[in-house]
Amino acid sequence: MIYTKKQEGIANKIDDLSDISNWKNWKWQLKHAITTLEQFEYLTGIRFDESERKELQETFKIFPLSITPYYLSLIHKENFRNDPVFKQAFGSVQELTTLNSEHSDPLSEEKDSPVEGITHRYPDRVLFHVSNLCAMYCRHCTRKRKVGDDSYIPSMSQMQKGIEYIKNTPQVRDVLLSGGDPFMLPDEMIDWLLSEITAIPHVEVVRIGTRIPVVLPYRVTDKLVSILKKYQPLWINTHFNHPNELTCSSREALAMLADGGFPLGNQSVLLADVNDCPRIMRNLVHKLAQNRVRPYYLYQCDLSEGLSHFRTPVGKGIEIMESLVGHTSGFARPTYVIDAPGGGGKIPVMPNYIISWSTNKVVLRNYEGVITTYREPDSYEAKNCDRDCDHCTLDLNIREADKMEAIGIEKLLSNDNDTVSLIPENNERLQRRYDNE
Ligand SMILES: *Cc1c(COP(=O)(O)O)cnc(C)c1O
Ligand code: SF4
C-alpha cells in the first residue's frame, strides 16, 4: 500500500544494497535526485533517439534537471509524452525557444527588492526568499533562470538583512517565506528563522510557500511539524497542479500539516497539456478540499523565458473558472490571477456576471445562464463612509482599526479627495500641454 512496485524498482536500481525503507528518508531522496538524462533513461527505461538526446542535453545545460525519485515514480511510462508529471519534471527542447515578450524576471521581483532576498510590492506584506534550493526543478518555474544557478542556502548573516528590513518596516504585518523552497532548509535553520520573524511585534502572520508535499512529501516529518507548531499562526501554501500528484504519501504529508493546525492553501499554475481542462481542474480542487487544502490561486503562466509551450490563452482560465463558479463548493474555487508583468502584483480575472446596470437595477446572470435582476435601494445617501474618517459620525470603533490611505482606484472612488484621474507617466498629451505653457 505504501510503496508501489515502481518505487521499489527504482529504489533497487538506484542502490542495490539499500532496502526500500530508505525511500521514505527525504535526505536519501535528495541525495539520489535524478539530474542527468542517462539516469533518467536508466531508471525509467524510457529511451530517446540520438537527435532528441542531443537537444535535451543542450536544454539541461541552460535549465538543469533535478527530479526526486519519488516524483519520478509518478510518471506513467507507457504514455509519458502526455503525462502531466513528466511534463512538469523532465522538460522539453521547447524550453530553448525564447519569445520577445518573455523576460528572466517578468514580475520585476528584483526591482522591487529593497534588500537582498526581500520583494516588497504590496503595502502590508513582503515576500522573503529564504532558500535557493528546490527538491525538484519544476520546468514551469517562474524563477527558472535562477533555479539551479546558485544552489546554496543563504547564510544566517544574509538572512539577517531581510529580518532587519522587516523589523524596520512597521507596515509589514504578513511575511511570506518563499524561495526556492523554505522546507529545503535544515530544521534548525527553519526554527531559528521563524523564531526571529515571529518575535517582531508588528508581524501578525507568517506564510510558507512550498512544493514539498508534492515533490518530496517525506520531508514533512514529526520533527518539522513540532518545530512549526511553535510559531502559530502559520499558513502553508503548497503547489499541486494535477490530481495525479495527490498520492498516498502526499496526502499523508498534508494530513500531518493539517493536524498540526496550519491552514493549508494551494497555488496552481495553469499549464497547457498539463491541467488546462475544466474536468481535471474540478477533480483537482475536489481532491484538495478532501485533504483539507483550500484552493487559493490559479495562476496564468508568467512571461518567464522558456515557458511558451506551457502558456494558454487567458480565455482558457476564464473557461475553467466558468466551470467552477456555482458548479462546486465556493471554498473549492481558487481565484484566477494574472501576475502583472513589470511588477503590478496579482490581478484577479473572472467571467463577467454583470450584464447591465441602470440607476436602480443590476442585471446579472448566474452559472446556469439564468438572467436575473437585483433591485437597488431607491435612495441611498452616501454619507456613511467617505473615507473622511476624522469627521465620521458612525460608531464603528474606528480607533481600533488601522488607518488606511486610499490609493489607486480606491482613491478615485473616494469623495474625500481631489483626485479625478490617474495619469500614466509620460503621457504625451499632457506633455504637449506643459510644452505649450
Ligand atoms: C504573491 C505575492 C505576495 C502575496 O500576495 P497575496 O495576494 O497576499 O497572497 C506578496 N508579495 C509578492 C511579491 C507576491 O508576488
Ligand atoms: S518548487 Fe517552486 S521555486 Fe522551486 S522549481 Fe518548483 S516552482 Fe520553482
pLDDT digits (tens, 9 = 90+) for 191-245: 999 999 999 999 999 999 999 999 999 999 999 999 999 999 999 999 999 999 9
Measuring from atom 15 of ligand 1, which residue has the nearest CA? Answer: 345
The answer as to whether 170 is a domain residue is: yes
pLDDT digits (tens, 9 = 90+) for 374-407: 999 988 876 656 666 777 776 666 666 667 778 8
Q: For residue 248, report the phi and psi dihedrals to the nearest 5 degrees.
A: -55, -45
Statement to judge: residues 30 and 178 lie in one domain? no
Statement to judge: residues 73 and 177 lie in one domain? no
Statement to judge: residues 125 and 28 lie in one domain? no
Statement to judge: residues 34 and 73 lie in one domain? yes
83 is catalytic: no
The answer as to whether 379 is a domain residue is: no
Statement to judge: residues 89 and 132 lie in one domain? no
**Mean pLDDT over each residue of the chain, to the nearest integer:** 91
Distance from the alpha carbon of residue 319 to the mean position of ligand 2, in angstroms: 26
The answer as to whether 339 is a domain residue is: yes
pLDDT digits (tens, 9 = 90+) for 69-97: 999 999 999 999 999 999 999 989 999 98
Total-model pTM: 0.91
Looking at 93, 110, 128, the residue that finishes a domain is: 93
- Closest ligand (CA of 111): 1
Distance from the alpha carbon of residue 132 to the mean position of ligand 2, in angstroms: 9
Q: For residue 217, report the phi and psi dihedrals to the nearest 5 degrees.
A: -60, -25
Cα dist from 277 to 75, 272, 327, 369, 400, whole Å: 19, 9, 15, 21, 46
141 is catalytic: yes
Domain membership of residue 418 as a residue range: 389-436
The answer as to whether 169 is a domain residue is: yes
Statement to judge: residues 227 and 304 lie in one domain? yes
pLDDT digits (tens, 9 = 90+) for 24-38: 999 999 999 999 999
Number of domains in the chain: 3
Distance from the alpha carbon of residue 127 to the mean position of ligand 1, in angstroms: 7
138 is catalytic: yes
223 is catalytic: no
How far, in Å, CA of 178 to CA of 419, rounded? 37
pLDDT of 258 strictly over 80: yes
CATH code of the domain in which 175 resides: 3.20.20.70
C-alpha triplet 24, 28, 32: angle, nearest 5°: 120
